Amino acid sequence: MLRSVLLNLSTAKWSRRFVTESRVARRVASRFVAGETFPEAIRPIRDLNARRIAATVDHLGESVATNEDAVRATEEYLGLLEAISQADVWANVSLKLSQLGQQLSRELCALNLKKILDRARQQGIFVRMDMEDSPWVDPTLELYEQMRTLGYDNVGVVIQAYLYRSQQDVEELLSKLARIRLCKGAYKEPAEIAFPNKRDVDKNYLALARRLLDASREARLPADLGRCIPPLAAIATHDERIIRAVAQYAREHDIARDQFEFQMLYGIRRDLQESLAAEGYAVRVYVPYGTEWYPYFMRRLAERPANLWFFISNFIRR
């Protein structure tokens, strides 16, 4: 119930206005967002690298309203790729296709994405296409297939475990050796297409994670930390029970630690990020920056009660 309320608020204009104008909310959001510009985000990225943790950088924004906005977002990513290369940090990038104009024109989005992938390939940087809500799953996978057909091998995609269709999607993607980030899913979806019960989501997540680990062992495509190319399997979760189950499965099935990686969000379970890296696991942290932080922030509150309590307690102290 509470999760649904917060996800609804993530798209409400009045709530956006109230939260973004609050100094307390902006301070709390800074726990989850590395800054409003890349120069502000570079310090936490370097701090992560110093602890042998890689990053994936996201310029926040989604569902642009005009072609011009999509072009501006593309230019921001082109500049981000140059900045990552010049900074010589262990980082790749993540992006949302709606920010590149997917909801306006497939052709425009494809053109913008190709520009980004071309620049990323020149810099030796990997690009992850984030997955958005269910109406955009097929268009996103179709565009991913198009980019691979065009010869781009520096691009990966995200699968959300709470969707019933994800098992089939994973099998189809693995047949093409797609590099997949597996997450649980952060959008409000109807029970007709997504598991409504957390226990079922967790069960499906673990089954899909094991399938990705098996595929990683068979493909033997390890990460290249120097160029920050991730392995085939990226296990994105803060659920320590699932993380330990994945690690145990890898040990029991002789899957090397460089054949998969754990991914987490900036500002969430830093203790777990560091302990996994210290144990020798590949760890990557999703580092978002930008002025359009409100929808991302609200989805983080919806995901974990601890995040919401952190937000509320700051208001109480204020």
pLDDT attached to residue 63: 75
Assess whether 130 carries a catalytic annotation: yes
pTM of full prediction above 0.75: yes
pLDDT attached to residue 176: 93
**Number of C-alpha atoms within 13 angstroms, CB side, residue 3?**
13
8 Å CB contact between 84 and 313: no
What is the share, in percent, of the chain residues with pLDDT greater than 90?
69
Element (H, E) at 65: none
CA–CA distance, 172 with 169 (Å, rounded to integer) = 5
Comparing 124 with 1, which gets the higher pLDDT?
124
Comparing 315 with 136, which gets the higher pLDDT?
136
Assess whether 46 carries a catalytic annotation: no
Mean pLDDT computed over every residue of the chain:
86
CA–CA distance, 242 with 232 (Å, rounded to integer) = 19
Catalytic option among 130, 169, 179, 257: 130
Phi-psi region of 125 (alpha: psi -120 to 50; beta: other; left: phi over 0): beta
In sequence order, what E strands does the chain have?
54-59, 91-95, 127-129, 155-160, 180-183, 233-236, 260-265, 283-289
CA–CA distance, 265 with 88 (Å, rounded to integer) = 21
Q: Where are the domains of the chain?
A: 33-292
* pLDDT tens column, 72-131: 999 999 999 999 999 999 999 999 999 999 999 999 999 999 999 999 999 999 999 999
Q: Which two three-digit tokens encode residue 106?
A: 């497939």
8 Å CB contact between 174 and 215: yes
Find where tokens 């601890």 sit. Answer: 306
Phi, psi of 295 (to 5 degrees): -60, -40
Comparing 163 with 223, which gets the higher pLDDT?
163
* pLDDT tens column, 115-127: 999 999 999 999 9
pLDDT attached to residue 317: 47
CB contact set of 126 (below 8 Å; sequence gap of 6+) = 92, 93, 120, 154, 155, 156, 179, 227, 228, 229, 230
- Ranking 66-70, 103-107, 224-228, 245-249 by mean pLDDT, the lowest is 224-228
User: Average of pLDDT values for 202-213?
Assistant: 98
For residue 11, pLDDT beyond 60: no
User: Average of pLDDT values for 178-193?
Assistant: 93
Catalytic option among 119, 128, 181, 257: 181
For residue 224, pLDDT beyond 80: no
pLDDT attached to residue 64: 87
pLDDT attached to residue 293: 63
CATH 3.20.20.220 fits 33-292, yes or no: yes
- Cα–Cα distance list, 216 to 74, 182, 262, 270 (Å): 31, 13, 13, 26
